[in-house]
Amino acid sequence: MKRKLWLPVLILSMMLALAGCKKEEDVANQPMLEVIEYTNIIDSSATTQLETLMKDAGISMERQQILLEHISQMNSSVDTEGLASIFESAHISKMTYNPDIMLAEWMNRNPTFPGYNDRITTFSLFGDYLDIAADSTVRDVNLEMDILALQTDTSALVGTDNLQKFKALYSTIPTEKAEGVNGYAAAVQKDWKERGISIKDDEKIRMITLFCYDAQTSELYAGHVGLIFPVEEDKEEVIYFLEKINFQEPYQLTRFANRTELSDYLMYKYGSSKDGDAAVSFIMENNQLMEGYRQLPETTEE
C-alpha cells in the first residue's frame, strides 16, 4: 500500500506547480495601475477607518494613540488644502506633494524638530511584531536625520522599543550583486537571521519594505517602508497601505485591490527596475519577497 502513495503526492505537487504558474501569469497579465484611491487622514471618517484597521490588527492602544497624535501634529502644521481629507481618486502620475512649501510651514511651527518619516512611523506602530536582538550589528550611516528626530522626540519609541533596535532594523545590508531579485531577497533574509531580527507573522498586519541595491557601495537599504492591512470587503480581499511619505510630506492611507497594484504604486513612486549603476528595487512583505511584486510594465500617462 505504501508504494501507491507516490501517486497522490505527485498529483498534489503538479497541482501546486500549476497554481504557482497561474499566479505568475495573473501578475504578468494585470495592467499597470493607473488610478489610486487614497486619503491623507484629515477627515474624521478617514481617521475612523484607520482606527478600525489598527484595532482589528491588534495594535496596542498606546501605539495607536501616538500615531494619531503624530498625524494631528502634521495636519495642524501644514496647509491641508489640496490634501485628501476623505478617500479620493487620482492618477498615479499626479500623486505628488510640495515638500518645499510643507517644509517651510512645518519649520515655522516646529523649528527644532524635523518630524517623522516612513521608517519611524512603521517602527513605532509595528514594534510589538518585531523581535530584534539587543546586540544586533548596526550600520546606520544613512539614518542621521531619523536618529536626530528620535533623539529630539522619543514618543515614537514605545515600551521596549529603543533607538538601538530602530537602527538595527534599518541598517544597510552589505551584499554582492545578485542574479535577480530572489538573490537580493535571500541576502536580506540571511542578514536578518544572522543579526537576530525576526518578525511575528500576523495576517492582519504586515510590514512592507522596498529595498534598493546601491551598486556603488554594494549595499541594500530600505528605500521606503509602510504597513499593509489586508481585509475582506464584499467577499474580496483588499489591501490598505499606511505610510508617511517623508519628513515634510503627509501621512497617506491607500486602498489597493491586490498586492500587484501595491507593487506598481511603490515601484512607480520609489523604485527602479534598472540595473547597472542605478539601484535595483524589490519589495519584501515581512521577511519574504512580496507575492505580486513585479518590475513596472509599460505605464500610461493620464
- Structure confidence by residue, pLDDT tens digits, 62-111: 999 999 999 999 999 999 999 999 999 999 998 889 999 999 999 999 99
Residue 10 in any domain: the answer is: no
For residue 19, the model assigns a pLDDT of 46
Residue 200 has pLDDT above 90, yes or no: yes
**Overall number of domains in the chain:** 1
Q: Which residues of 53-85 are buried (b: 16+ CB within 10 A; e: fewer)?
A: bbeebebeeebbebbeebbebbbebbeeeebbb
Residue 1 has pLDDT above 80, yes or no: no
For residue 133, the model assigns a pLDDT of 97
Mean pLDDT of the chain: 89
- What does the block give as the cell for 156? 515614537
Residue 19 in any domain: the answer is: no
Residue 108 in any domain: the answer is: yes
For residue 15, the model assigns a pLDDT of 53
Residues 6+ apart with CB under 8 A from 79: 101, 105
Q: Report d(CA 239, CA 261) in Å as an integer.
A: 9
For residue 300, the model assigns a pLDDT of 46
Q: What is the pTM of this model?
A: 0.89
Residue 22 in any domain: the answer is: no
Given a contact cutoff of 8 angstroms between Cβ atoms, the answer to whether 231 and 53 are in contact is yes
Residue 130 in any domain: the answer is: yes
Q: Could you tell me how far CA 262 lies from the centroid of its own chain? A: 10
Domain holding 197, by residue range, is 33-289
Residue 9 in any domain: the answer is: no
Residue 10 has pLDDT above 70, yes or no: no
Q: Report d(CA 239, CA 227) in Å as an integer.
A: 10
Residue 197 in any domain: the answer is: yes
